[in-house]
Amino acid sequence: MDKFLTIELDDIESVPKVTYKGEDITGRIKISFDWESGNETGNSKLNFKINHLMDGHGITTIKHEDISSRNDIHHIKPIDKVKW
């Protein structure tokens, strides 16, 4: 089974290697990753956004946004690929 998302750095100045659902993501432009540990209920928060160039498609974005309210109700936008 492939890992969902991996982001690897060889050193502080290297271009991150990104694999999403087993697919190597090439043409990386910008990568944002934010994770917060869960509270006493165990709910954690994950947000990521990967902008990359795809041949014939221009700039494409893979993203996941987890928006939490103060009462721990989570509204999750589905992971998707969108074309700019």
pLDDT 10s digits, 22-68: 999 999 999 999 988 877 777 788 899 999 998 888 899 999 988 65
pLDDT in tens, 10-25: 999 999 999 999 999 9
Range scoring the smallest mean pLDDT among 4-13, 15-24, 75-84: 75-84
Q: Where are the domains of the chain?
A: 27-83
Q: Which residues contact 30 (CB under 8 A, 6 or more apart)?
A: 49, 50, 51
* Angle at 72 (CA atoms; ends 6, 4), nearest 5 degrees: 15
> Counting runs of H as helices and runs of E as strands, what totals does the chain give?
0, 7
Cα gap 28→8, rounded to integer Å: 13
pTM equals: 0.71
